Amino acid sequence: MLSVVPSPVVVRAPSKVNLHLGVGDLRADGYHDLTTVFQALSLSDDLRLAPAASLTVRVTGEGAAQVPTDRTNLVWQAAVALAHLAGRAPLVEIAIAKGIPVAGGMAGGSADAAAALVGLNELWDLGLGRDELASVAAELGSDVPFALHGGTALGTGRGEQLLPVLSRNTFHWVLALAKDGLSTPSVFRELDRLREEGDPPRLGHPQKLLQALAAGDPHALAPLLGNDLQAAALSLKPELRRTLRAGVGAGALAGLVSGSGPTCAFLCETEEAAIAVAAELAGAGVCRSVRTASGPVPGARVLDHEPQA
Ligand code: ATP
């Protein structure tokens, strides 16, 4: 019988911004309890997965030189985990075209891992449902389930327990990418240090923010955006204060550090306003580069099948 080699699968993986990131105290297991509202953004990575004689990872695009191509890459771990579940060998070549800044607080590695799960489910014809993929995702990292889920969601626990959030309208963002990355564990450690020294303000419950999202009103949403990690990211990278001021000075409704940073995210009134803010920020010399994005967008999803060579 002829065996048919499956066609490569292309998957798009969205980035995320935390509209609200409330960080609890350090737990005995080394993690922090989080209350967060994620929004998936159109700034994304594309993965191409093709059958191969062994597991290989290639990376091109934004920050590719900083991304490992060995077993420490989250897509490698995703492939091994899913192959184990399916009782097969992880024989796949994964090519990642990065658009999401590396170590930028936008969960690029997690997005790639979610995309690998979705793509391999298709390539290997496993027929796994979203819930089954989500439990593999949660083992790979706290932000991986949201990258699968997409849209807008409330995350608790380490951020992996998700509830969908009603969000009307599309929101428009400008993202200021920094020169170097920030490691997420070092930002959490800095927050713990700041809390030992003093009592930096903590966010309350995001009830009002959830109402602003349901109303789809960027003016109501803007003053409610907040991130408990921002003080720590600014402490490690004080130059981000200038970036945040410049974005608001250029006409954004509000700006905040995205996740653990150092990317700064600016909420704008309209798409046109975002383009104008991006142009002014790009000329202000306060960041490495600037992108516009919109959200919410869906979670990791198959784009198309490429024809066989
Ligand atoms: P998060 O917001 O989820 O904490 P981040 O967006 O700040 O993460 P990532 O871009 O996910 O950061 O990368 C963090 C580190 O993970 C990188 O420095 C890199 O060494 C490693 N890494 C592993 N796999 C990947 C991947 N597929 N893409 C990017 N980085 C990866």
- CA–CA distance from 2 to each of 5, 120, 128, 270, 305 (Å)? 10, 22, 26, 54, 21
Taking CA atoms only, the protein residue closest to ligand 1 atom 15 is 103
Ligand 1 neighbour 8 (Cβ under 6 A): no
For the stretch 255-308, pLDDT in tens is 999 999 999 999 999 999 999 999 999 999 999 999 999 999 999 999 975 534
For the stretch 76-90, pLDDT in tens is 999 999 999 999 999
Helix H or strand E segment including 285: none
The rounded distance, in Å, linking the Cα atoms of 12 and 46 is 5
Q: Is the pLDDT of residue 57 over 60?
A: yes
pLDDT grade for 245, boundaries at 50, 70 and 90 = very high
**pTM of structure:** 0.94
Closest CA to 65 of 91, 103, 9, 110: 103
Ligand 1 neighbour 107 (Cβ under 6 A): yes
Assigned token pair, 10: 């292309």
Span from the CA of 67 to the centroid of ligand 1 (angstroms): 7
Q: What single DSSP character describes residue 26?
A: E
Taking CA atoms only, the protein residue closest to ligand 1 atom 1 is 107
Residue with the larger pLDDT of the pair 132 and 308:
132
Span from the CA of 184 to the centroid of ligand 1 (angstroms): 9
Contact 35, 163 (CB under 8 A): no
Q: What 3 state SS string does 155-174 have?
A: EECCCCEEEECCCCCCEEEE
Taking CA atoms only, the protein residue closest to ligand 1 atom 29 is 109
Strand bridging mode 9-26 / 264-268: unpaired
Name the β-bridge partners of 155. Answer: 36, 162
Most ligand 1 atoms within 8 A of CB, residue of 36, 72, 76, 184 to mutate: 184
- The interface pTM score, or ipTM, of the predicted complex is 0.93
Which domains does the chain carry?
A: 9-165 (3.30.230.10), 171-295 (3.30.70.890)
- CA–CA distance from 179 to each of 130, 202, 232, 280, 286 (Å)? 36, 28, 18, 18, 10
HSE value, Cβ hemisphere, 13 Å, CA-based, for 49: 32
The burial class, CB within 10 Å (0-12 / 13-18 / 19+), for 86 is middle
**CA 298 centroid distance within chain:** 12
